């Protein structure tokens, strides 16, 4: 929605601040999946080479970007 509001300010308005959730969304995989570690490694690679930052910048999501990729990183 932020992207649409930025591209079409006459048609869209953001109703409230966008804040980072202490339990940000992530990739859901079945418990014990062999993909957990490779997906986490891929996410870390995207963060290290700047691709992740490019994506969150492009879609105006810098305010809710995460700093690291974590397996089971929910705050309890």
**What distance in Å separates the CA atoms of residue 70 and residue 37, rounded to the nearest whole number?**
10
| 34 inside domain | yes
Contact (CB, 8 A) for 69 and 43: yes
Q: Can you give the residue range of the structural domain that contains 32?
A: 28-76
Asked if residue 40 belongs to a domain, the reply is yes
pLDDT averaged over the chain?
84
Residues in CB range of 48: below 8 A, 6 or more apart: none
Q: What is the pLDDT of residue 5?
A: 78
The total domain count for the chain is: 1
Task: Examine residue 7 and state whether it is found in any structural domain, yes or no.
Answer: no
Asked if the model's pLDDT at residue 18 lies above 70, the reply is no
- 15 domain-assigned: no
Higher pLDDT, 32 or 4: 32
Q: Does 13 map to a domain? A: no
Q: Please give the average per-residue pLDDT across 17-36, as a whole number.
A: 80
Report yes or no on 71 lying in a domain.
Answer: yes
User: If pLDDT is split at 50, 70 and 90, which confidence band does 1 have?
Assistant: low
Residue 57 above 80 pLDDT?
yes
Structural domain includes residue 2: no
> Could you identify the residue written with the tokens 């700093």?
67
């Amino acid at each position: 929605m932020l992207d649409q509001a930025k591209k079409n300010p006459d048609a869209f308005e953001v109703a409230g601040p966008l804040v980072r959730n202490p339990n940000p969304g992530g990739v859901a995989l079945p418990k014990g999946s062999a993909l957990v570690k490779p997906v986490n490694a891929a996410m870390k690679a995207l963060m290290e080479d700047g691709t992740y930052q490019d994506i969150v910048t492009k879609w105006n999501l810098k305010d809710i970007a995460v700093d690291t990729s974590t397996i089971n990183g929910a705050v309890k």
